[in-house]
A = this chain, B = another copy of it.
Amino acid sequence: MARRPVLEFWYEFASTYSYLSAMRIEDLAAAAGVEIRWRPFLLGPIFAAQGWNSSPFNLFPAKGRYMWRDMEREAARLGLPCKRPDPFPQNSLVAARVALVGADQSWGPAFTKGVYTREFGHGRSIAEPQAVQAVLTELGLDADAVLKASTADPIKTRLRALTEEARSRGLFGAPSFVTDDGELFWGNDRLEQAIAWAAGDRPTGLR
């Protein structure tokens, strides 16, 4: 039997448009017969390397004002709730580590969607361990055990390695999607095309 095509979904919990992709990617991938690999990473170190000490949506106010309105429109179009958390961006370290614990477990995608819905659907904090714990508890998991695992060295090391892998592979924002053959797509606006590419449907005449 042929192996199913794989698409890597690279996301950062502080990223607004990653929320829209996280909520949509499973249905789109299933319809196309594509397998998703969930790849939480941190944009902070990548932004810092190009001289940014916060979200570009804060550093460039006109772009930030636009983004929040665009998020409202896009969420409405997709039938998703949308509320801005304060502060923005949220510190995403605890959630990213926990998502890595879940990356190879059946609850991983549900956890990721739960964090995003709390953060950008309901405008609540995700920064504190207690907030992440609440998401885990809602999923019926042993929150204490998962949080403890998330602060162990293997997870910390793996998150640093994934973030460095993202940078070295040319990722500069989130969400990003990488196909089996190394094709990179950036942004929720490219999710459909990334899945089509992974499934073998590419524009004709492309070099």
> Which of A's residues lie within 8 Å of B, judged by CB?
50, 60, 62-63, 65-66, 69-70, 72-73, 76-77, 167, 170-173, 184-187, 189-190, 193, 203-207
Contacts and interface: CB of A to CB of B under 8 A. Distances in A.
A165 to B, nearest CB: 13
Contacts of A189: 187, 189
A33 B204 CA distance: 31
A170 B65 contact: yes
A184 to B, nearest CB: 6
B76 A184 contact: no
Task: Count the copies.
Answer: 2
A76 B186 contact: no
11 contacts: A50-B60, A60-B172, A63-B172, A65-B170, A66-B170, A66-B184, A66-B186, A72-B206, A76-B204, A76-B205, A76-B206
A62 B170 contact: yes
Contacts of A77: 193, 203
Contacts of A170: 62, 65-66
Given A66-B184, A184-B66, A203 B73 contact: yes
Contacts of A76: 203-206
A61 B163 CA distance: 18
B73 A193 contact: yes
Contacts of A70: 185-186, 190
Contacts of A72: 206-207
A84 to B, nearest CB: 12
A167 B189 CA distance: 25
Contacts of A206: 72-73, 76
Contacts of A167: 62
Contacts of A204: 76
A133 B207 CA distance: 32
